[in-house]
Amino acid sequence: MQEVNALTPAGKTPLTSAVEQAADVLDYRQKPGVVVVLTDGEETCGGSPCDLGKRLHDAAADLTVHVIAYRTSYFSWTGAQSVLGIKCLADTNNGLYVTAESQEELVTAFRDTLSCPMLSEARP
Protein backbone atom coordinates (compact mmCIF):
# COMPACT_ATOMS: atom_id res chain seq x y z
CA MET A 1 0.00 0.00 0.00
CA GLN A 2 2.98 2.31 0.47
CA GLU A 3 3.50 2.25 -3.29
CA VAL A 4 -0.10 3.33 -3.91
CA ASN A 5 0.11 6.10 -1.32
CA ALA A 6 3.36 7.31 -2.85
CA LEU A 7 1.72 7.91 -6.24
CA THR A 8 0.93 11.48 -7.14
CA PRO A 9 -1.81 11.97 -9.72
CA ALA A 10 -0.63 14.09 -12.62
CA GLY A 11 -1.74 14.71 -16.15
CA LYS A 12 -4.94 13.64 -17.78
CA THR A 13 -7.02 10.46 -17.49
CA PRO A 14 -7.69 8.71 -20.82
CA LEU A 15 -10.01 6.27 -19.06
CA THR A 16 -12.10 5.36 -22.12
CA SER A 17 -9.08 4.72 -24.31
CA ALA A 18 -7.33 2.68 -21.62
CA VAL A 19 -10.34 0.41 -21.07
CA GLU A 20 -10.82 -0.06 -24.81
CA GLN A 21 -7.15 -1.02 -25.21
CA ALA A 22 -7.39 -3.47 -22.30
CA ALA A 23 -10.47 -5.11 -23.85
CA ASP A 24 -8.67 -5.39 -27.20
CA VAL A 25 -5.64 -7.03 -25.57
CA LEU A 26 -8.02 -9.59 -24.04
CA ASP A 27 -9.50 -10.29 -27.50
CA TYR A 28 -12.90 -9.67 -25.95
CA ARG A 29 -14.85 -10.25 -29.16
CA GLN A 30 -13.64 -13.85 -29.34
CA LYS A 31 -13.41 -14.97 -25.71
CA PRO A 32 -14.58 -14.02 -22.22
CA GLY A 33 -12.56 -11.41 -20.39
CA VAL A 34 -12.45 -9.35 -17.22
CA VAL A 35 -11.12 -5.80 -16.94
CA VAL A 36 -10.68 -4.18 -13.53
CA VAL A 37 -10.40 -0.40 -13.69
CA LEU A 38 -8.89 1.49 -10.77
CA THR A 39 -9.54 5.20 -11.14
CA ASP A 40 -9.24 8.28 -8.99
CA GLY A 41 -11.47 10.44 -11.14
CA GLU A 42 -13.31 10.95 -14.36
CA GLU A 43 -12.39 10.72 -18.02
CA THR A 44 -10.51 13.90 -18.95
CA CYS A 45 -9.50 13.21 -22.55
CA GLY A 46 -12.83 13.58 -24.31
CA GLY A 47 -14.00 9.96 -24.26
CA SER A 48 -17.28 8.67 -22.91
CA PRO A 49 -16.96 5.65 -20.61
CA CYS A 50 -20.71 5.01 -20.79
CA ASP A 51 -20.75 5.01 -24.60
CA LEU A 52 -17.75 2.69 -24.60
CA GLY A 53 -19.53 0.40 -22.14
CA LYS A 54 -22.48 0.10 -24.50
CA ARG A 55 -20.23 -0.58 -27.51
CA LEU A 56 -18.28 -3.24 -25.62
CA HIS A 57 -21.47 -4.94 -24.46
CA ASP A 58 -22.95 -4.90 -27.96
CA ALA A 59 -19.77 -6.48 -29.37
CA ALA A 60 -19.32 -9.12 -26.65
CA ALA A 61 -21.66 -10.06 -23.83
CA ASP A 62 -18.90 -12.12 -22.17
CA LEU A 63 -16.75 -9.13 -21.22
CA THR A 64 -16.95 -7.97 -17.62
CA VAL A 65 -15.72 -4.53 -16.62
CA HIS A 66 -15.39 -3.80 -12.90
CA VAL A 67 -14.69 -0.24 -11.74
CA ILE A 68 -13.02 0.67 -8.46
CA ALA A 69 -13.45 4.38 -7.80
CA TYR A 70 -10.67 5.30 -5.37
CA ARG A 71 -11.10 8.64 -3.60
CA THR A 72 -12.97 10.04 -6.59
CA SER A 73 -14.58 12.76 -4.49
CA TYR A 74 -11.10 14.07 -3.72
CA PHE A 75 -9.66 13.96 -7.25
CA SER A 76 -12.77 14.50 -9.37
CA TRP A 77 -13.24 17.78 -11.22
CA THR A 78 -16.99 17.44 -11.56
CA GLY A 79 -17.84 15.66 -8.31
CA ALA A 80 -20.76 13.26 -8.33
CA GLN A 81 -21.40 13.82 -12.04
CA SER A 82 -18.19 11.99 -12.93
CA VAL A 83 -19.42 8.87 -11.15
CA LEU A 84 -22.27 8.41 -13.62
CA GLY A 85 -20.01 7.70 -16.60
CA ILE A 86 -17.70 5.27 -14.85
CA LYS A 87 -20.56 3.54 -13.03
CA CYS A 88 -22.36 3.09 -16.35
CA LEU A 89 -19.24 1.39 -17.75
CA ALA A 90 -19.48 -1.27 -15.04
CA ASP A 91 -23.27 -1.51 -15.11
CA THR A 92 -23.45 -2.18 -18.86
CA ASN A 93 -20.76 -4.88 -18.74
CA ASN A 94 -21.86 -7.17 -15.91
CA GLY A 95 -19.39 -5.51 -13.57
CA LEU A 96 -19.24 -4.18 -10.07
CA TYR A 97 -18.89 -0.50 -9.30
CA VAL A 98 -17.11 -0.18 -5.96
CA THR A 99 -16.03 2.98 -4.14
CA ALA A 100 -13.05 3.02 -1.83
CA GLU A 101 -11.91 5.85 0.39
CA SER A 102 -9.43 4.02 2.61
CA GLN A 103 -6.76 1.36 2.37
CA GLU A 104 -9.10 -1.24 3.88
CA GLU A 105 -11.86 -0.40 1.41
CA LEU A 106 -9.40 -0.58 -1.49
CA VAL A 107 -8.22 -4.05 -0.42
CA THR A 108 -11.84 -5.20 -0.12
CA ALA A 109 -12.65 -3.76 -3.55
CA PHE A 110 -9.79 -5.69 -5.14
CA ARG A 111 -10.88 -8.88 -3.38
CA ASP A 112 -14.45 -8.41 -4.60
CA THR A 113 -13.49 -7.69 -8.21
CA LEU A 114 -10.61 -10.15 -8.57
CA SER A 115 -12.33 -13.16 -7.04
CA CYS A 116 -12.36 -14.95 -10.43
CA PRO A 117 -15.00 -17.66 -9.85
CA MET A 118 -14.75 -18.62 -13.53
CA LEU A 119 -11.09 -19.55 -13.11
CA SER A 120 -11.63 -21.51 -9.92
CA GLU A 121 -13.77 -23.98 -11.87
CA ALA A 122 -11.19 -24.46 -14.62
CA ARG A 123 -9.60 -27.86 -14.89
CA PRO A 124 -6.58 -28.96 -16.95
CATH number of the domain that 88 lies in? 3.40.50
Helices (H), the chain: 2-6, 15-25, 49-59, 72-75, 80-91, 103-113, 117-120
Out of 6-10, 11-15, 79-83, 120-124, least confident range = 120-124
26-39 pLDDT per residue, tens: 999 999 999 999 98
Domain count, the chain: 1
Q: What is the pLDDT of residue 86?
A: 86
Residue 45 resides in a domain: yes
Residue 121 resides in a domain: no
Q: Is the pLDDT of residue 119 over 50?
A: no
Question: pTM for the full model?
Answer: 0.79
Residue 24 has phi, psi (to 5 degrees) of: -65, -45
Residue 76 resides in a domain: yes
Q: Is the pLDDT of residue 59 over 60?
A: yes
Q: What is the pLDDT of residue 70?
A: 87
Residue 101 resides in a domain: yes
Residue 82 resides in a domain: yes
Residue 4 resides in a domain: no
Residue 122 resides in a domain: no
Range of the domain at 66: 13-114
Q: Is the pLDDT of residue 10 over 90?
A: no
Amino acid (one-letter) located at 73: S
Residue 1 resides in a domain: no
Q: What is the pLDDT of residue 92?
A: 94
